[in-house]
Structure 1
């Protein structure tokens, strides 16, 4: 890693954790954006983003719960199906081209989420969904979380708010714990791919943890975040567009069947990665 990235990446991770955690997220989509701009290999990006996600989601969940912004009744129906599906998604490997398209689409969706400002319903009109509705939605979000290396909060929290199932702050608290369990399951599903996490992670973890604690502490106590989300969306749009536009330039990497079996991973489109 060159000197410029060695300096800028920790700073970027701190800022991403600070901003994302203020709305109950852990920053995986921003970590992916930063690593994409730094031209880091996709195989390294996914486990690295999940590792940082777990730390930030843990402190964000703690702060939002301490501030009274959490609902177990709302959390468990989504989590019970998302956890095994996140594990399954984490055990799968998409080819480089497909990976770039999928992650690019996820980043652009996150940008749309950041720009949007959902109208919040009156608290008395909020009702959690029935389990039969939450189960399949949790499974879909969990699988996509494990596959792409994000915790799923960028999908869950806008869904909860726009469907009238939770207030924005309760949605943030639920999303934080949801991200933690899904990121953990996705990382476990990756098996030996954890060896791809760079040694620099030891320097990135403390700064992300600090950013996550500060951001979620302020965010759970009425910190305005609209302007910050819109600014962050610009970064996500740039990185998402870059991933999609460069996806066609990726070339498949030959991997021996023996190495594929040792890695314990499955190619999303059949065969070995």
Structure 2
């Protein structure tokens, strides 16, 4: 593989993102964009890497009983078909990079915002209005995620924190599960229109890199200050978004 730098960057991204419950899809795309890779392959690579990174985190969250399925299902069930529809939507390369750049900048702003989460472990809002709002939120983020090639957690987590939706730990668990199912759905959508020339060797090497980084990061998530990590991530994503817009727009 000629781009050994990508391997190192992917490992670092997986390490940082998994420590705060994300998959890293947005930053994978930003890195790949710098190397002028085919945008169809970029999206597929980012989604597969997302799955690898968040799977370990999902296992740990379920094991530690941080998953509230009654609240997660309305968001996730609607997002899955919408992610598929977003993935099969026909967009040009120019449109893709424009959406990607804007997406990265907006995500950075959301990540930077600090919220005081005062929700208790026992609180739960199960009225019809809340279910409708959760479903609408999940569907909208799911469609955008499928179109760009990310899992969507980088949008979902900050918004849920702003809404004081649940505890910080349960929001991280929700984001991981959201990313996992949306990435799988997005891949099925991407496979319906993939070009013939895909470098599967490169994808495989990058998958191994994020597996190592993700496993380390997900196990250190309880030891790091999540606000510090999120703000460092926000700065990196913001710079990446600006670079994408300057380079491709």
Instruction: Please give the TM-score of this superposition, normalised by the length of structure 2.
Output: 0.91
Shifted more, 188-197 versus 96-105: the winner is 188-197
Q: Which runs of 5+ in 1 are unaligned?
A: 249-273
Deviations 1:172-224 (A, max 9, x none): 001101100000001101124175542211111112012112111221x2422
Match of residue 248 from structure 2? 247
CA distance in 2, matches of 1:49, 1:18: 15
Shift of 1:161: 1.4
Q: Does 1:75 align with 2:38?
A: no
Q: Does 1:84 align with 2:81?
A: yes
Q: Does 1:55 align with 2:49?
A: no
SS in 2 for 1:142: helix
Match of residue 96 from structure 2? 99
Shift of 1:44: 2.0
Q: Which runs of 5+ in 2 are unaligned?
A: none
Deviations 1:45-80 (A, max 9, x none): 111111111111211211222233221011100111
Is the 8 Å Cα contact of residues 73 and 128 (structure 1) preserved in structure 2? no
Instruction: Please give the TM-score of this superposition, normalised by the length of structure 1.
Output: 0.83
Q: Which has the higher contact order (CA 8 A, sep 6+)?
A: 2
Q: Does 1:31 align with 2:28?
A: yes
CA distance in 1, matches of 2:162, 2:64: 22
Shift of 1:125: 8.3
Is the 8 Å Cα contact of residues 88 and 193 (structure 2) preserved in structure 1? no
Deviations 1:141-191 (A, max 9, x none): 110110000101011111221111111111000110110000000110112
CA distance in 2, matches of 1:87, 1:114: 25
Is the 8 Å Cα contact of residues 111 and 158 (structure 2) preserved in structure 1? no
CA distance in 1, matches of 2:198, 2:168: 34
Match of residue 181 from structure 2? 181
Q: Does 1:228 align with 2:225?
A: no
**Greater Rg by CA:** 1
SS in 1 for 2:220: helix
Shifted more, 232-241 versus 140-149: the winner is 232-241
Change (3 A) 1:188 1:195: farther
Q: Does 1:116 align with 2:117?
A: no
CA distance in 2, matches of 1:31, 1:231: 16
Is the 8 Å Cα contact of residues 19 and 219 (structure 2) preserved in structure 1? yes
Change (3 A) 1:168 1:196: farther
- Give the aligned CA root-mean-square deviation in angstroms: 1.9
